[in-house]
Structure formats: C-alpha cells, structure tokens
Amino acid sequence: MIPFLTYPLAMVALASVPALAAIYILRNRFRSRQVSSLLLWRFHVQSKSGGAKVHRLQLPLLFFLELLALLLLVVAATGPQWKMPQSARPLIVVLDDSFSMRAASDGVSAQTRAHDFLEKLFRHQPPPSTRLILAGTEPRSLGPTVKSWRELDELLSQWKCWSPDSAIDSAITLAAELGKQQANILVLTDHKPADEKISSQRLEWHAFGLPLDNFAIVNASRTAFGDQDRCLLEIANFSSAVRTTKLAVQTGTNSPETSLVSLGAHESQRLVFNIPSSAPSLRATLESDLLAEDNQVQLLPPIRKRVRVQVELTNENLSALANRTLDATGLRAAISENPELVIHESDTMTSSNSWSLRWQSSGATNAYTGPFIVDNSHPLAEGIALEGVVWAAASMTNAPGDVPVILAGDVPLFSEREDAIGRRQLTLNLNPELSTLPSTPDWPILFWNILQWRISEMPGLKESNARLGAEVNLKTTDETVTVTQPDGGKQFFPKTGGELALETPMPGIYSVAMGVTTNQFSVNALAADESDLSMCATGQWGKWSEDTERRLEETSAVWIFGLLALALLTTHLYLVATAKGGG
Amino acid sequence: MDSAIRQSLRDGEKLGLRYALQIPQVAASGWTGSRSGRRAGSSIDFQDYREYQPGDDLRFIDWGIYARTDRLTVKLFREEVTPHLDLILDGSRSMNLIETAKANAVAQLAALLATAAANAQCTQAVWLSGEGFQRLPNDTLTPSAWDKLDLESKRTPDQSFEILPPKFRRLGVRVLVSDLLWPGEPLQMLRRLRDGAAALFVIQLLSRDDATPPEHGNLRVVDSETGDESEIYIDSSIAKQYAENLTQLQQSWSDACRQCGAHMTTLIAEDLGKSISELEAIQLLVPA
C-alpha cells in the first residue's frame, strides 16, 4: 500500500484519475431520446469514428492508455524504490597519478584503460559510495564521497597523471583509514604490487600497464658557473636492448644541435656542457616514443642574486677583512646603494630596512678554544666546524631576544635577532686580531652563509628550474601573487608577506607575477622510476571477499515509470493522429 | 383524452372554418345529400329525358310528352349526393412523441380536415388505428365533440389493417394522417386505402425532431412504439445518413402514391399553421 498522504504530488496525480474517468463517463454517457421509430436509425454502414451500436459503456483504448499513464505518474510521484543488487561496501579507489600511466600503446594509455574499467565496474555493480584517492608523491583524497557515476566522472577529470611518483602504499594506508577497514579498496595502476600475494580481503589491485621500451631524460639541470651556465642532461635507455635515439638541443632561438645517443640496455649517459648565461632557455628533446612526457626538458637561466652590502666599519683592518671576505663569496653586488646588509660596529640600528651585522671587536680579549656550541640547524651555521679555532670575544651574556648561533659556554659569539619589522640583526662577537678564525675555512663559510641567508630572504623565486612535483619557493612581498600554469590555469595568492611553496603539478613553464615584476620557472618531468616502463604489467591481484560482493540496495525507479508513461503517451499521440483510438 | 388534445381539436376546428374540402368529381356520388351527384337523382334540377323502363318511378313520367308522342318518357333530375371523407389517423405512439407537438398537430389537422369537409357538405368518418381500425366516438359530430383520440397504440397502421380494416364508404375521399415511420411496403397499404376511394391523400406528419438530423453526441434512441433502444454516437456522417434514410423513406412513399394515384405531402407538426398551404397545393383544401 502506497502511503499517498505522504506524497502530495501523488495525491494530486491520483485525483486526476477519477477526473479522467468522469470525463470519459460523461463523454460516453448516452442522452436518452425517444424517437418515433428506429426505422431511420438503421444504418447500412457504421461510422468508423461513431455510430457503433452499443449496449453498454464503451471506453476507447485511449482512455485506458491515459488511465495507465496517469497511474504510472502517480506511482512515479511516490518515488518508488527498486531493489537492485549493489555492492554492500563503500569503495575507495586508489588512482596511480604518476606520469607512467600516460604511456600509450596503440594510442590507448593505461590511464584510459583504468578509467574504462572503473566505469564498467561502476555500472555493473555500483557501490553505495565511492571515494577517490590520488596516489601521487603523496596520497591525496580527491573530493568528497560520491554516489553516481556522473559525480565520479567529474572527479576523475582531476586525475591528470603528472606526478613523478606514485605513493600507492601510502594511499592504500590512507584508504584503509578513511574506510575504517570496512570499505573495499581498488587500486588502479600500471604495475603489479611489490608483494603479489595480497592478503587483505578488502583490496583489489588492477594493473593496466604494458612493458614498453622507453628513452627518457631522467636528469637535467642548469646552474651558474661563473659567466656561463653549466648544463647537465642525463639520458637513459629503459629497454632490454641497445637503442639509439636522436637528441636535439636548442638554446634560445638558435637552430637545434642534434646528435645521436646510443645506449645499451638499461644504460644511462650524462651530458655536461656549458652555455652562455645570456641564453634565455635551453630545450633538449629526444625522439618521440610511447611516453612523450619524458622526452623533453626546458631549462631556464639560473637565478643570480647578489646582496648590496655597505661596510661601515671604522676599523680599517676590520673593514678590509670584511670587504675581502665579502668579495670572495661572489654573492656581493657591485653597488652598495640602498644596502641590503650593513656591517657596522655601533650599537645603534640603521634606519633603513636593511639587515645589519654588528661586529663587536672592542673589549674582546677573552680567547675561547672550545668547545663551541653551534646551532647546526640555523642557516648561518651551515658548514661551520670551528675545529681548532681560537675565538677571541668579549665576555658577555646573551641579550634578551637574541638567538645564539655559536656559543662558547654561555658567551654568545654569533647571534641574531629579528626586530619588529622583520629586519635581522646579526651580532658577531669577535676580535680577529686575537683569533684564528679568519684564517680558517669557517670564515668565508660564515660570510657566505650570511649573504646566502640574506639572499634567501629577498623577494622572488629561489630557483628557475624544478623537477615535476617539487615545490618551488617564492619569497613574497606584501603584494598579490599570480601564478600562471603551463595549461593557462591561474592561481592567485593574496597579499601576504613570507614564503610561498608553489606546487608543480605539470611540466612546462610557470609564470609568477608579483607586483610589477614577472618571473618564470620551468618544471620538467624527470623521474627515472616513472620513465622505466619495463616493469609495467597488466593483471589483477587480490580479490574482495565474497561476502562483500552484493546486497540488495533500494534504488530510485522513478525514471522507469516516467519512461513507461512517456511511451504510453507517445502511443496515445500516434493513435490520435491516426484515429485508431476508438474515441 | 387530455385537455391539450381537446384544445387542439378546437383550434383545428376553428382553423378549418376557413377551408372547404375540395371534392373531386369522381367523388360526386354517394348517399342522397345536398350536393349534386354525377348521376340522375331526385333533386329538382332537370338533367335529361329517357324512355321509361320498368321499375322507373312513375312519378317522373312526363305525361305531356306521352300525350304528344304516345311514348312513355321519364324526366331525369340531377342526383343530390353527400360526399364523404374518411379520415384515417395513425393512432400509434409515434404520433404522440413526447416533447413534440405531434399529437396536438394530429388532432388539429384532423379537426381542420373534418371542419373543411363539413364546409363542403361532406360526411365524415374518423378512423383511428390501434387494435384494428376503430371509428372515433362522435366522429360525425364537430371535432370538439370527438372522444378518445388517444394515440397510444403499439401497432403500426398496416398491422391494424391486418387486424381489422376500416369500412370505408365507396367513392369517399380518404385522407391518411401518419408519420409513415414503419417498415413495410407502402404500396400495399396504399392500394388498400385507394381501393374504392374517390381520392386518396397521404399527409405525412413529422415532428421537427423526426425531420431534422439530430445533434452530435452520444444518443440512446428509444423506439416510442416498441421500446427498443439503440445507443449511437452521432457525428456528421451519421446525421447525413439519417437524413438520407428519411429522404429514402419519403421517396418510397411518394413513388407508391404516384402509382396509386394518391397525393402526398409532408407537414411539420411544429409548423402546422404555416403548412396549410401545402394542403391546398395537393388540392385537398380550398378556401371556404
């Protein structure tokens, strides 16, 4: 018994049934009329559309069609549920997001095959709910739980397969946590599991890869090397035979230089060469093969940053030592206007926004030979050893707010602090004349660290070339940052001072606009493990336990009744048009 | 007999005062009456002489001629006769169709004809079909005195003929008033009516419902005489076919009338007052 009172639409539709019947009854009701004789009412030919002599209420076929259509709509309005076999357990799908899934054989990639399999599974045995987890370098849950294939397909559009790695094990762990050990886990990848014997009854592993030969560029870098840039290209042959490929290298708009690269099975070759630093970009391309993503790299010029340093030391010896050391780092800018670092002896801070290094040498008469306490986690202490060093310093205690970097007991030898507006104040407690530090390798390291730290705090990109999936750091100012990805997608970051870690979800040239300045960095698909397709396989490992296979699930059947009603009305229309309905 | 019929008789009687029955020559014979017959009779109008024959009334021997010629010669005078009208009314229920003016029209028409006959010095007999033909009580009197003009018979006139035919006077004018809506061969009926009659007139009296095709829709038609029913959906084709059936029926009666030398006309009950001219057209009535 359908509870019609709970379905207002059904009530309305049901009310139309007696209305329809009344219409037909009234329409078919015969007005009684006495006639002189039936003589004139005997017809030789009965009319098709009328005149049929009947002795009872005759309802045409159209009436029954309309009645049936109305009843179907009534039932549809009650939202009938259909018990259909469905998977009893929710499904969590782990999608291999690495770019090896893009390897295409006969134009069909493993990603496409996996997608088709998932669609087929979903249509054949739809689970009550489905969640997607992307197994990239890190597992990432892809949107909320969905129930229909349409929703799922929308989510699958985010499955790009551009990751340089596939953390499938981590993704399975995450899936197990999300599914609370109740969900079925489906892994869609292109390689077999590390342990082919899967013990879990909740896990099915499906691989859709094919073992294919592949040439790839697995490493590429471009670094500053004096006045030139040094480039490195590493090419690997991931096949079981000797193969030869053609490498084309193009710098800027120059014509590409091609060369043949012949490599043995699973052999790689590194190519190191220099190019002028003025060359805008370097593009290296291999012959096309089944995995196109790793056949090309683009390297932009490395970022060369210098620090404008102003030395305000009154002690000429100290000043000369400082200048000499700064020049040796190669990180000092040629000009000193608007300094970014001021080296001075006075206790007062500079009024500008520059960092300051206060060199406290007077009164530093105590020589310390160690042991020195070095904060190795601090960027200023990176590479500092201080072995056998005699450090002459003034006996003092650490000032409140100062962060000691190097200590001799409780005496701060080198410390730093940050003031309210973000400026760094470094304090060097050293009398070089009584110390051996300037004569040790730690001395230029110390200044290199100072300048490098200053550089790292300058706004802008820190690198111009990155591997796919790696984060590119950006030091921001109080300006909006707009990142344009290779596919044209834009990311906007509000005005926040600090550092942004930009994701690199796909290879190509990224453009970063910050204020009036725009910089670019290049991301290349460099991952030897993903380029090696020799281990790809097709097959199924593991199977969900039988008790989880099916159960009867109530599914809306409104569309069935709607379709039936539509078919009836179409038939009705046909009968009316051809005057066969008997009305 | 209900008051409406009675009133119709009065109305017909009143209307009939303006008309007289047109007596055909062949009908100028009959009982001794006030009209000159076509034969020699006993009127005062001299017609001819002829020789005496045994059996002649001796009172009509012209003795002067006998004196001059010594031959017995009788004087012949024009016969004075009373023509006769036999009014045959269809007494079936179809003539009393409910919600129509048919019954009133029957009464009015009969009264009109009877009054017109009286104006023409005709005698009259009103025959009503039923379980045989019966004369209407007081039918020789003025129509307002008639009685039992009840149109309730389930019999058609031809069936009544079979049961008990009317005893018509020879050489009378016979007028049949009926809707003619019964199956059967009109010629047979008409021959019986025509037999021995000076003239036969057939007046088909229909109601407007009989004459005009019914409106569209579902209709359960009930035969007023038999009670049979038929449910029919009326559309334009059925209406057209009904009209054709009616025309065909009228045509069959018209053809039969032509064969029998009868005259036929159709009157609509609701338009009876306007249709009297039709009776003049068939030379049944003349203005008085």
**Closest Cα in chain B to A25:** B218
| Tens of pLDDT, residues A538-583 | 999 888 876 545 555 567 788 888 899 899 889 888 887 776 555 4
The answer on B238 and B213 residing in a single domain is: yes
The answer on B17 and B105 residing in a single domain is: yes
Supply the pLDDT for residue A91. 87
The encoded tokens of residue B216 equal 């569209």
ipTM for the assembly: 0.78
The answer on B198 and B247 residing in a single domain is: yes
The answer on B50 and B10 residing in a single domain is: no
Question: Which among A195, A272, A267, A190 has a CA at the least distance from the CA of A231?
Answer: A272
Looking at B47, B81, B115, the residue that finishes a domain is: B81
The yes-or-no verdict on residue B100 having pLDDT over 80 is yes
Handedness of CA A370, A376, A378, A381 (dihedral sign): positive
Residue type, B36: S
Residues of A in contact with B241 (CB under 8 A): 43, 45, 51
Cβ atoms of residues A191 and A97 within 8 Å: no
Supply the pLDDT for residue A44. 47
Give backbone dihedrals phi and psi of B199, rounded to 5 degrees, phi first.
-155, 155
Mean of the pLDDT values across residues A20-32?
Answer: 75
The yes-or-no verdict on residue A47 having pLDDT over 50 is no
Q: How far is B255 from chain A (nearest CA, A)?
A: 18
- Say how far apart CA B148 and CA A358 lie, in whole Å: 149
Supply the pLDDT for residue B88. 92
Give me the residue label for tokens 């990639």.
A109
The answer on B164 and B46 residing in a single domain is: no
The answer on B242 and B167 residing in a single domain is: yes
How many domains does chain B divide into? 2
- Say how far apart CA A48 and CA A580 lie, in whole Å: 9
Residues of A in contact with B242 (CB under 8 A): 40-41
Residues of A in contact with B222 (CB under 8 A): 32-35
Q: Do A38 and B221 touch (CB under 8 A)?
A: yes
The answer on B146 and B57 residing in a single domain is: no
Enter the DSSP assignment of A300. Answer: P
Mean of the pLDDT values across residues B46-60?
Answer: 78
Mean of the pLDDT values across residues A143-163?
Answer: 87
Q: Do A32 and B246 touch (CB under 8 A)?
A: no
Q: Do B233 and A52 touch (CB under 8 A)?
A: yes
Supply the pLDDT for residue A288. 87
Residues of B in contact with A34 (CB under 8 A): 97-99, 221-224
Residues of A in contact with B249 (CB under 8 A): 39-40
**Closest Cα in chain A to B214:** A33
Using DSSP's 3-state secondary structure scheme, residue A362 falls into coil
Supply the pLDDT for residue A45. 43
The answer on B237 and B123 residing in a single domain is: yes
Which A positions 40-99 lie with beta carbon below 8 A of chain B? 40-43, 45, 47, 49-55
The answer on B234 and B123 residing in a single domain is: yes
Q: What Rg value do the Cα atoms of chain B yield, rounded?
A: 23
| Tens of pLDDT, residues B9-51 | 999 988 888 888 887 765 544 444 555 555 555 555 666 788 8
Q: How far is B152 from chain A (nearest CA, A)?
A: 12
Mean of the pLDDT values across residues A23-44?
Answer: 76
Min mean pLDDT across A23-37, B201-215, B223-237, B251-265 is at A23-37
Q: Do A33 and B214 touch (CB under 8 A)?
A: yes
The answer on B55 and B176 residing in a single domain is: no
Enter the DSSP assignment of B272. Answer: G
Residue of A31, A36, A43 lying closest to B94 (CB–CB): A36
Q: How far is B179 from chain A (nearest CA, A)?
A: 8
The answer on B88 and B71 residing in a single domain is: no
Q: CB of A26 within 8 Å of any CB in chain B? A: no
- Say how far apart CA A58 and CA B231 lie, in whole Å: 10
Average pLDDT value for chain B: 83
Question: Does A213 or A48 have the greater pLDDT score?
Answer: A213
The answer on B145 and B11 residing in a single domain is: yes
Q: Binning pLDDT at 50, 70 and 90, where does residue A137 land?
A: confident
Residues of A in contact with B230 (CB under 8 A): 38, 41, 53
Q: Give chain B's largest Cα–Cα span.
A: 89
Residues of B in contact with A52 (CB under 8 A): 232-233
Residues of A in contact with B179 (CB under 8 A): 36-37
Using DSSP's 3-state secondary structure scheme, residue B68 falls into helix
- Say how far apart CA B95 and CA B89 lie, in whole Å: 9
Residue type, A534: S
- Say how far apart CA B252 and CA B202 lie, in whole Å: 13
- Say how far apart CA B265 and CA B280 lie, in whole Å: 10
Question: What residue numbers bound the domain in which B65 lies?
Answer: 32-81
Q: Binning pLDDT at 50, 70 and 90, where does residue A472 land?
A: confident
Q: Do A39 and B97 touch (CB under 8 A)?
A: no
Q: Do B220 and A31 touch (CB under 8 A)?
A: yes
- Say how far apart CA A427 and CA A440 lie, in whole Å: 20
Domains annotated for chain A, with CATH where assigned, are 4-32+52-80+558-578 (no CATH), 85-211+535-556 (3.40.50.410), 214-304+526-531 (2.60.40.10), 309-456 (3.40.50.880), 460-520 (2.60.40)
| Tens of pLDDT, residues A56-69 | 455 677 788 888 88
